[in-house]
Structure 1
Amino acid sequence: MDVLSEELSQARARGAVFSILDRRAPWGLGFSGGRALTAHVLLRGAGLIEVPGIPALDLAAGDVVLVTAGTPYTLVSAPGVPVEPIGEARMRGSDEPAVHDARILCGAYRMEGGLSEAFLATLPRVVVLRSGELEPAHRVLVEVMATEADSGEDGRQSILDRILDLILVYSLRTWWGRPDSQCPGWYRGLADPLLAPALRAIHRDPGAAHTVDALAGIVGLSRAAFAARFRTMVGEPPGRYLTVLRMRRAADALTRGEASLATIAAGVGYANEYAFSTAFRRIYGVSPGRWRRRRVTEAD
């Protein structure tokens, strides 16, 4: 099972290209910082990303930047240049004439599922991936994106959206591969050939009756050895990990659908609503019904 793809699917990460802008220097773009996750790709030229509290970071052509929600920030050609809000920049479009100093792509991801908060918590405010450290296929995607951005062909928007989705997957793999990065516990666990089969079994069907003994049997370890190895690699005991995963899946179901509590409870492995509600309250601090009402209110 491809756990990374499943996690992104559950979080409903979908790319939405919202600007491809050609600019002559000096140029500056301002962003509210309110989006859950934004990607910037400098398709041509050079610039800086300026985020309060973080030293300005130089950007070169082919670099990929991920920015999580927070304070407003800017992309600029040089320090101190005038900054145009991205909304106004999108309405104005690209600079004329056709020769420009920079081409900047900015895309937002809609991370609306119950897993999104835990997913985004593994990322710092700003991730900069230099062109030279990208996987070969990742660099090719950036080049294809630059080519497609110049295309006037039908389907251009859909192609760019899909490429942006792929760039997120490659970016996460590159970032989480760094020794100093904070990657999810399941990602570390999947790198362990002894733990990987058990983790895939859990994610394939969180509602199944996964006991520690059964999971240990899958990987051929004793109960004690499996539990100790799991806690060291993943960061929490297997029982706790399973419960949290079940509750995140349940929270996602509560947010995006009208299924009854009994149906959701059964889907994540609980025989009755009472046991499910107790587990849910332990993780989220409120009952499933209140969680659903709160999310519906927030959506309105």
Structure 2
Amino acid sequence: MDTITAVLDGHAARRPFLLRCVFTPPWGIRLADHATLGLVVVAAGTVVVSGIDHAPVRLGPGDVLITAAAADLDLTDAETSEVDAVVEPGQVCRTLPGRPPVTFLGPGHTDWGNDPAGSTVLLTATWELPGQVSGRLVGSLPPGTVIRTHRADTADTAAGADRSGRSDGSAGSDGELPALLRLLATEMAATSPGRTAVLDRLADLVLIAALRHHWQRPGATVPTWWQAQEDPVLGPALAAMSADPAAEWSVASLAATAHVSRATLSRRFAAVLGTSPMAHLRRWRLDLAADRLRHSTDPVGAVAAAAGFSDPFAFSTAFRREFGRSPRDYRSAGPADAPRISGPARARPSGTP
């Protein structure tokens, strides 16, 4: 279980909230839902994305926008159009006073907009994923990232993200991501049995494919945790400790999973992740435990055991050292506390050692 799998399938995971947005110009909506992760796919028409202190970005059919870190973004048909409605926390969709109504179109509460026959169609998905493990993923993304699939030009970074003008490339017209987008658009417009289950899984697939494209393009600035999972030495060791965090791992047993010596594994951990194998394992276990405390009612002792701590007192001591409070206090504080971004914050261009 790698980081993305842990985020989408772990204790903090929630089903994505999906909407098919249909508009006739002029129109404008503000994404202010503070979701952990969001996805906007342009199925038809054009969209202008505006964020704080950054030039607007125009999207066309097949373009994908990934939002992260609770960014507030405006989506409009033109730079001069005003915002008509706001998507608020809890996925509450509200028309602003004095503006034309934006409402749910038809049964099912999955189509939303100002005209069921509108020329602009957006497919949106949001994930509420509060937690320490998700902090690794969210902390690696700018507030808004555009991936273009409809033509071979550059992608933009929206809403105050990377302002260096970096290229995000094109996903091409016949790759994994475009094929998934076509399937998502077809299923969003369908009414067949099983639609909700299919859409949930498709949304996860599209998000993963978009992230893969984003970080696997030539010259990408890759988060260290992503780079480590693709590393031939670190990858097997990380996969082993993620699959069974409670196992009695040692540097020797982790090195054996990668068929390298203990010294080689330790050097590689230090070079890529800036830490030792056992320190990384300890941090991973504590992150998993923190998410389980917040999103389950399991006794603290059971949480400790599942995270690989046989001694509850040792677990409490390690947890307090990492998070500044006891496991019980952490649980009672509730999800309002922002997760700290675990792991090194460094990122490197792809292909660097």
Q: TM-score, normalised by structure 2?
A: 0.76
Decide whether the 8 Å contact of 1:14 with 1:111 is kept in 2.
no
**Offset of residue 43 of structure 1:** 0.5
Q: SS where residue 221 of structure 1 aligns?
A: coil
User: Any stretches of 5+ residues in structure 2 without a counterpart?
Assistant: 87-92, 96-101, 106-111, 151-169, 338-353
Does the alignment pair 1:15 with 2:16? yes
AA partner of residue 134 (structure 1):
A
Report which stretch shifted further, 240-249 or 66-75: 66-75
**Offset of residue 72 of structure 1:** 2.7
Q: SS where residue 236 of structure 2 aligns?
A: helix
Q: SS where residue 115 of structure 1 aligns?
A: helix
Does the alignment pair 1:291 with 2:330? yes
Residue in 1 that maps onto 2:35: 35
Residue in 2 that maps onto 1:117: 135
Matches within 5 A, 1:1-300: 4-10=4-10, 11-17=12-18, 19-86=19-86, 87=93, 88=95, 89-91=102-104, 93-96=112-115, 98=117, 100-132=118-150, 133-134=170-171, 136-178=175-217, 179-185=219-225, 187-295=226-334
Structure 2 distance, partners of 1:56, 1:275, is 51
Question: How many residues end up aligned between the 2 structures?
Answer: 295
- The structure-2 alpha-carbon separation of the partners of 1:12 and 1:296, relative to structure 1 and needing over 3 Å to count, comes to closer
Decide whether the 8 Å contact of 1:123 with 1:182 is kept in 2.
no
Decide whether the 8 Å contact of 2:8 with 2:204 is kept in 1.
no
Decide whether the 8 Å contact of 1:22 with 1:102 is kept in 2.
yes
Q: TM-score, normalised by structure 1?
A: 0.89
**Offset of residue 184 of structure 1:** 4.7
Decide whether the 8 Å contact of 1:33 with 1:73 is kept in 2.
no
**Offset of residue 102 of structure 1:** 1.1
Structure 2 distance, partners of 1:285, 1:96, is 51
Report which stretch shifted further, 238-247 or 66-75: 66-75
* Higher helix proportion: 1
User: Any stretches of 5+ residues in structure 1 without a counterpart?
Assistant: none
Q: Percent identity?
A: 29
Residue in 1 that maps onto 2:153: none
AA partner of residue 22 (structure 2):
D
Deviations 1:46-105 (A, max 9, x none): 12111102221111101111112345321111112121114132446444473x331112
AA partner of residue 285 (structure 1):
G
- The structure-2 alpha-carbon separation of the partners of 1:240 and 1:101, relative to structure 1 and needing over 3 Å to count, comes to same
